[in-house]
Chains A and B, each alone.
Chain A
Amino acid sequence: MGRYVVRRLGQLIVVVLGATLILFACLFVLPGDPVGQIAGSDKARDPAVIEQLHEQYGLDKPLVVQYGTYVGKLVTGDLGTDYTQSRPVSEILAPKLGNTAKLAVFAIVLDVIIGVSVGVVAAMRRYSIWDVSATFATTLAIGVPSIVLGMILQRFFVVELNWFPLIADDSFKSMVLPAVTLAIIDAALVAQLARSTMLEVLRADYVKTAVAKGLPRRTVLFRHILRNSVIPVVTYLGISFGTLLGGAIITETIFNWNGIGLALIQAIQQNNNPIIVGVVTISVAVFVVLNLVVDLLYAALDPRIRLA
């Protein structure tokens, strides 16, 4: 187990380094000078000022050196300095990452409640009207992308009913709609997954044995059926949570939720490379860390899995 964790951590570092290298190489060859905007308009630009800014941000050094410096700082949690505000990127993104995390947690909680309960009911009452409606509703929900669902929810609950603010502040109230948008599509997938794994487990011999030896229904359901059905669902939720923490760009943009996804889109409009690199790095790192956590959770949930 210990050796497995160490090996996975090693892989994780390789993945994050590879991802930052791709990102860094892509953004380095980008046309346009990143300091151009803060050096003033075209006429007022002083070559000396630009040179000084280049020196200040280390842009005069070769790519390899810049990447080395970037990675060296990354290890200490330093994501570089923002060009437009002259503040550390980590300082700018920290509160936004907090907002994204709040949204992700809320969405995942809704996701689990809706998804698992719908899936379990559908599986336990297979072919009933509940099962058929659940299959219909989940297929439909998966087909509705977040750009469409977000627009519809905003149209009715913000514009029509005025229940929620149009421009989100960081309040709980303005978090409801983006969280629901994220949760509905995901919950549909969770419900389908929970249903199909449960149907598989229900057929398993150990469930028949448990019933045959006269265990109470409740014990069979919780100890035998649910515990064994939960593994694929946990995997899915872990990956989904990782994706949400990496910034739900569309949903955050539609509802103006001040998270790192919105920050990424704004940074693209302002040509603000350090913020772009920062957001993508965070999003990749969070995703691989959560993947590792999910794999470790496997072992805790399923005694058959031995990590080596």
Chain B
Amino acid sequence: MTELVTGTGGPTAADPAAGKQGAEPSIAKVSQWSDIRHRFFANKLAVVGLAIIALLILTAIFAPLLAPHDPLQQDLNATLQSPGGAHLLGTDALGRDQLSRLIFGSRIAVIVGLASILVALSIGILLGAMAGYFGRWVDTVIMRTADIFFAFPLLIGAIVIILLMGRGVLPVVLSLGIFQWATFARLLRSQILSVREMDFVHAAQALGASRGRIIRKHILPNSMTSVLVYGTSNVGIAIVAEASLSYLGVGVDPEVAEWGNMISAGRGFMGVKDFMWTYPSIAIVITALGFILLGNGLRDAFDPKLR
């Protein structure tokens, strides 16, 4: 029983009061986190989503071990080979192994997806918290700036930044981050505004807690979860946006093993060599679905009311 209550048990056993409490018929204390974890794992689709994302990240990490060939190595004697034989998923117009390119493509997806959302979250959390906390002209300036960034459709905004910086992974990460922070800032600001008026904050104020303590211990933790959950589900959107940019010829360099590049290369062989674009398409769809399921699962686990 004690183990259930305290988890580690060690420090509590030294506490003289613990023995007394253990003797009473006690209710196992369920922490908020274990409750959330329980709700998440009870949701089968959420677990499927988590499994897909875990698999994607493992593929990205171990890509050099998993890929049968060098994704950039051309073999002009073996171009456009159909799947099977030495090349399980065939080869492209330059004789590069499609399976290896697909596996290495997961690296770009994971890096760009996570990094761009981290950029967006960092800017969005900083500015959103400032707007929500300081109010007045700080709020006005930050929120009007957010409106400006919000007015750009994601791909169009990203293209502008990429035209400025040139193609490549870093420009794609920054451009997708720069045009997604406004959503997070708005969300965090509105959360802070509603949490600030809640009873437990007033109670903390009445007990004489300092402003810094109230922000750190009460307002931020209670406003951040929805922002972080929303951030998770947006990783999938960022990955699709990145593949779309590369497909349009304004993403990463065309020779890089990346899914959008692969689909774009297969476009000219539609109806003749369909395997060139179908496999990377499947990879994108599974990844996008994985993040949608994970995001929905997290949202429902954190806030069952929203269901």
Evaluate contact between A147 and B270: CB separation under 8 angstroms: no
Say whether A19 faces chain B, with CB atoms less than 8 Å apart. Answer: yes
Instruction: Select which of B147, B161, B164, B285 is within 8 A of A144 by beta carbon.
Output: B285
Q: Report chain A residues within 8 Å CB of B163.
A: 26-27, 30, 268, 276
- If A18-B148, A147-B263, A148-B281 touch, does A249 touch B288 (CB 8 Å cutoff)? no
Interface size class, chain B: 35 or more
Say whether A174 faces chain B, with CB atoms less than 8 Å apart. Answer: no
Say whether A280 faces chain B, with CB atoms less than 8 Å apart. Answer: yes
Residues 160-179 of chain B, each 1 if its beta carbon lies under 8 Å from chain A, else 0: 11011000000000000000
Instruction: Select which of B152, B164, B274, B293 is within 8 A of A19 by beta carbon.
Output: B152
- If A143-B292, A144-B285, A148-B281 touch, does A250 touch B148 (CB 8 Å cutoff)? no
Evaluate contact between A268 and B270: CB separation under 8 angstroms: no
Q: Report chain B residues within 8 Å CB of A178.
A: none
The residue in A142, A147, A253 that gathers the most chain B C-beta atoms within 10 A of its C-beta is: A147
Q: Report chain A residues within 8 Å CB of B281.
A: 147-148, 151-152
> How far in angstroms is the closest Cβ of chain A from B217?
33
Q: Report chain A residues within 8 Å CB of B155.
A: 249-250
> In the complex, what distance in Å separates the CA atom of A144 from the CA atom of B282?
9
> How far in angstroms is the closest Cβ of chain B from A235?
14
Q: Report chain B residues within 8 Å CB of A145.
A: 240, 243-244, 284-285, 288
> In the complex, what distance in Å separates the CA atom of A15 from the CA atom of B161?
18
Evaluate contact between A250 and B271: CB separation under 8 angstroms: no
Evaluate contact between B292 and A142: CB separation under 8 angstroms: yes
Segment touching B, from A39-47, A70-78, A85-93, A282-290 = A282-290
Residues 150-181 of chain A, each 1 if its beta carbon lies under 8 Å from chain B, else 0: 01101100011000000000000000000000
> How far in angstroms is the closest Cβ of chain A from B81?
20
Say whether A139 faces chain B, with CB atoms less than 8 Å apart. Answer: yes
Say whether A80 faces chain B, with CB atoms less than 8 Å apart. Answer: no
> How far in angstroms is the closest Cβ of chain A from B179?
10
> In the complex, what distance in Å separates the CA atom of A60 from the CA atom of B248?
32
Evaluate contact between A15 and B151: CB separation under 8 angstroms: yes
> In the complex, what distance in Å separates the CA atom of A143 from the CA atom of B288?
5
Evaluate contact between A250 and B270: CB separation under 8 angstroms: no
Say whether B202 faces chain A, with CB atoms less than 8 Å apart. Answer: no
Q: Report chain A residues within 8 Å CB of B285.
A: 143-145, 148
Say whether B260 faces chain A, with CB atoms less than 8 Å apart. Answer: yes
Evaluate contact between A154 and B288: CB separation under 8 angstroms: no
Q: Report chain B residues within 8 Å CB of A23.
A: 160
Q: Report chain B residues within 8 Å CB of A14.
A: 144, 147-148
> In the complex, what distance in Å separates the CA atom of A268 from the CA atom of B156?
12
> How far in angstroms is the closest Cβ of chain B from A299?
20
Query: Which residue of chain B lies nearest to A245 when distances are taken between CB atoms in the complex?
Result: B153
Residues 232-251 of chain B, each 1 if its beta carbon lies under 8 Å from chain A, else 0: 00000000100110011110
Q: Report chain A residues within 8 Å CB of B293.
A: 139
Q: How many residues of A contact B (CB 8 A)?
A: 45
Evaluate contact between B249 and A269: CB separation under 8 angstroms: yes
> How far in angstroms is the closest Cβ of chain A from B189?
16
Q: Report chain B residues within 8 Å CB of A269.
A: 249
Say whether B213 faces chain A, with CB atoms less than 8 Å apart. Answer: no
Evaluate contact between B152 and A147: CB separation under 8 angstroms: no
> How far in angstroms is the closest Cβ of chain A from B45?
8
Instruction: Select which of A15, A26, A249, A287 is within 8 A of B160 by beta carbon.
Output: A26
Q: Report chain B residues within 8 Å CB of A22.
A: 148, 160
Q: Report chain B residues within 8 Å CB of A284.
A: 151-152
Instruction: Select which of A143, A154, A159, A247 is within 8 A of B289 by beta carbon.
Output: A143
- If A139-B292, A280-B160 touch, does A253 touch B248 (CB 8 Å cutoff)? yes
> In the complex, what distance in Å separates the CA atom of A243 from the CA atom of B150?
11
Evaluate contact between B148 and A140: CB separation under 8 angstroms: no
Q: Report chain B residues within 8 Å CB of A253.
A: 248
Query: Which residue of chain A lies nearest to B272 when distances are taken between CB atoms in the complex?
Result: A159
Q: Report chain B residues within 8 Å CB of A151.
A: 263, 267, 270, 277, 281
Q: Report chain B residues within 8 Å CB of A15.
A: 144, 147-148, 151
Say whether B73 faces chain A, with CB atoms less than 8 Å apart. Answer: no
Say whether A238 faces chain B, with CB atoms less than 8 Å apart. Answer: no
Evaluate contact between A26 and B156: CB separation under 8 angstroms: no
> In the complex, what distance in Å separates the CA atom of A30 from the CA atom of B56?
36
Evaluate contact between B164 and A26: CB separation under 8 angstroms: yes
Known: A18-B148, A27-B160, A139-B289. 14 other contacts (CB 8 A): A23-B160, A26-B160, A30-B164, A145-B285, A145-B288, A148-B263, A152-B281, A160-B271, A247-B153, A265-B248, A268-B249, A268-B250, A269-B249, A280-B152
Q: List 18 A-B contacts (CB under 8 A).
A: A11-B144, A11-B147, A14-B144, A14-B147, A18-B148, A22-B148, A22-B160, A142-B288, A142-B292, A145-B284, A147-B263, A148-B285, A151-B281, A246-B153, A253-B248, A264-B156, A268-B163, A284-B151
A→B interface (CB under 8 Å): 11, 14-16, 18-19, 22-23, 26-27, 29-30, 139-140, 142-148, 151-152, 154-155, 159-160, 243, 246-247, 249-250, 253-254, 264-265, 268-269, 276, 279-280, 283-284, 287-288
B→A interface (CB under 8 Å): 144-145, 147-148, 151-153, 155-156, 159-161, 163-164, 240, 243-244, 247-250, 260, 263, 267, 270-271, 274, 277, 281, 284-285, 288-289, 292-293
The 5 closest A-B pairs by CB, nearest first: A143-B289, A18-B148, A159-B271, A148-B281, A145-B240
